[in-house]
Amino acid sequence: MRALQSLLLVAALLFARTAAAQVYEFPHYDDAAQVRADCDRLLVDLKQRERAIAALPERGGEVLAALDALNQRVEDLMGPLSVVPAVHPAKAVRDAAEACDLAYQRFNNAFLQNAKVYARLKQAAVADDIDRRLQREELDLFEDSGVALAPAARARAQRLNAELTKLTQDFERRVRENHDTVAFTEAELEGVPANVWRNAKRDAHGRVVLGLDYPSADPVIERAVQERTRERMWRATMRLGGEANLTTLQRIAQRRHEYAALFGFGSYADFVMRRRMVKNEAEASSFLDSVAAAVSERERADLAVLREAKAQATGQALAATTLQRWDLAYFTERVRQQRYAVDQEAFRAYFPPQRSLEFVFAVAQRLFGVRFEALTQTLWHEQAQAYAVRDGNGALLGTLFVDLFPRPDKYNHAAVWSFRNVATKSGRLPAAALVTNFDRQGLTLSELETLLHEFGHALHALLSATRYSIEGGTNVQLDFAEAPSQMLEDWVYDPAVLALFQQLCAECKPVPREMIERAQRARHFGKGLFFARQLVYARYDLALHGKRVEAPLALWSRMERATPLGHVPGSIMPAGFGHLASGYGAGYYGYLWSLVVAEDLRTAFAADRLAAAVGRRYRDSVLANGGQVAPEELVQRFLGRPGSREAFFRSLAIE
Ligand SMILES: [Zn+2]
């Protein structure tokens, strides 16, 4: 009897598990030992799977399914562990998660050089175009890791990969663990919102001590009335990473150049770009040239306006006024306030944080017919939230985690980790984590834009319905990845979209229409400067990864000297520019490139940004397909015509 009862209990538990199995439960990590134990188990399992794949039949084996199962196993553990360093309150747990990632990278580098797995992959059973694309992309990965090189070159590739991993970590650590500070008297901080510095540390002279993190440094550079204050903070941020990072960056560029040469390529840019939309460095350069031609006049006009604003503010004659780099953000904000009477701070009253989250959910509901349902889960912090995403018919689509507010040791930007991908072949549902650092008082309009942008990445992951997890959601070509999020950015400047707030929040006052219109116009001011700066970054990144490796600082100062404001001696911007060292190497142009795609996609929503029929078509053609269809083809399917740059260049011209 007792045995039967417990059997029934087990059956009931099993049933409950399968019924609830679909909602993803974020794993609990109480201590580092638990992370290490899980990590050890993962590595043993991965090695077993590697052997099993190598032992598949030589021809027609289910290699793709096996590789996807391996990827899912990696995601099961490394997925949540990739979120942990950003949000977990315990340092030991965060460190253990980072160490696990390193151990996994070592496995993966060796795995991608496994000649037997590569041979099985070449002869894999493929049913259709989706299978063929996954096979081709996996073969590319193995080949780019050196599996098909002669033995000596293959060994060299492996050593270079290991060295690059280490160099990249060194570079990023020096930026992340920077503890430089700048001290200011309260008078010197005139204009800087008090919430930025009120609770900051004080030095022996009672001065406010500020770090170089964005929430501290940006408001000083943007708002400090005294030029000397802005200059001191700007100069400090331009030393981020330090001289050591210049040496590391040069080594990274040299090793990448050498790596590309193993494959017969004259530049690292050409080596990596052949796998992207852009195809090669020449195409990227000619694209950047056309953007430069479109914005250079506008940049000069913007600079003239800012210089006038500075002359006015300082009471100096225009002829005697020199605009400095540390003036740009400050006077851009000032002109925006004076010309367009826009004060971003004033928006906070209209956009309470939790309501703002519900607002982006409502946008998704209107456009894509999906709804977000709060779940009860014990997460890494009491502020974190979990949501089930359901389709119109109630079917579960995935799970979203949200962590809205800042706290010590938390990641300090806004980002999405799409850490678990859908796979229709194996009935797997996706999960993503949205991490932001919003003020509890509410969001500014540009923060609402950031929230919608990041939420766009989460939607890309959650509304994907790909056959394989490897192709799920945001696993798309690097220069396409930002497009679906960038597309949504200007939704928040549309009064019809913002009106959704009143549907979900009875106590929310509607934002005055003219306030939105002024913000919209103000947004276009400074575009010339913004794009010109993005261009210098993108071109520098290409040059650093070009045919000849130059010393990073010499190259940078030469390129910056050619811009209207020139180069400030002593500033070493490349030392703190994480994109150069990370996986974005020779990829910075991608922000501009995908903006072209985003503007093109937007044209379909020109008449109505909440059109459900267009949203449905977009969901089915673009989001659902993740990376399993080429981006050019996704755009063609959605728009009914090939992609075009027209909308992008039109938008550059909007005053
Ligand atoms: Zn993004």
- Integer CA distances (angstroms), 285 to 358, 541, 542, in order: 41, 11, 8
Full-model pTM: 0.91
Whole-number pLDDT of residue 203: 97
| The pLDDT value given to residue 299 | 96
Interatomic CA distance for residues 29 and 31, integer angstroms: 6
pLDDT given at position 627: 97
What is the pLDDT at residue 3?
Answer: 40
Q: Which residue's structure tokens are 């679906």?
A: 484
Contact 392, 369 (CB under 8 A): yes
d(CA 424, CA 472): 10
Between the CA of 434 and the centroid of ligand 1 the distance, in Å, is: 11
How far is the centre of ligand 1, averaged over its atoms, from the C-alpha of 457 (Å)? 7
Instruction: Name the residue type at position 442.
Output: G
Residue 539 Cα to ligand 1 midpoint, Å, equals 20
How deeply is 103 buried, as exposed, middle or buried, from its count of CB atoms within 10 A (0-12, 13-18, 19+)?
middle
Residue 149 to residues 141, 145, 264, 454: CA-CA distances in angstroms? 13, 9, 11, 40
Distance 450 CA to ligand 1 centre (A): 9
Distance 605 CA to ligand 1 centre (A): 20
Q: In what order do the strands lie in the sheet with 385-390?
A: 371-375, 385-390, 396-403, 431-435, 415-420
Q: How far is the CA of 90 from the centre of ligand 1 (A)?
A: 27
Query: What distance in angstroms lies between residue 478's CA and the mean position of ligand 1's atoms?
Result: 11
Q: How far is the CA of 591 from the centre of ligand 1 (A)?
A: 9
Cα 371 to Cα 390: distance, rounded to the nearest angstrom: 5
Q: How far is the CA of 218 from the centre of ligand 1 (A)?
A: 20
What residues contact 228, with CB distance under 8 A and at least 6 apart?
A: 188
Q: How far is ligand 1, taken at its centre, from the CA of residue 16, in Å? A: 37
Residues 6+ apart with CB under 8 A from 35: 29, 81, 84, 93, 96, 97, 100
Q: How far is the CA of 485 from the centre of ligand 1 (A)?
A: 6
Cα 533 to averaged position of ligand 1 atoms, centre (Å): 18
Residues of the chain where predicted confidence (pLDDT) is lower than 50:
1-21
**Cα 358 to ligand 1 centre (Å):** 20
Residues by chain with Cβ below 5 Å of ion ligand 1: 482, 485
In Å, how far are 29, 343, 536, 566, 568 from 561, measured between CA atoms?
50, 34, 11, 4, 9
- From ligand 1's centre to the CA of 284, what distance in Å? 20
Q: 415 CA distance to ligand 1 centroid (A)? A: 7
Centre of ligand 1 to C-alpha 140, Å, is 25
* Cα(116) to centroid(ligand 1), Å: 37
- Ligand 1 mean position, distance from CA 225 (Å): 32
pLDDT of 157 reads 94
Structure confidence by residue, pLDDT tens digits, 389-427: 999 999 999 999 999 998 888 887 889 999 999 999 999
Distance 181 CA to ligand 1 centre (A): 29
633 CA to middle of ligand 1, Å? Answer: 22
Give per-residue pLDDT as tens, 333-385: 999 989 999 888 889 999 999 999 999 999 999 999 999 999 999 999 999 99
Distance (Å) from CA 274 to ligand 1 centroid: 22
Helices (H), 463-510: 483-488, 495-498, 500-504
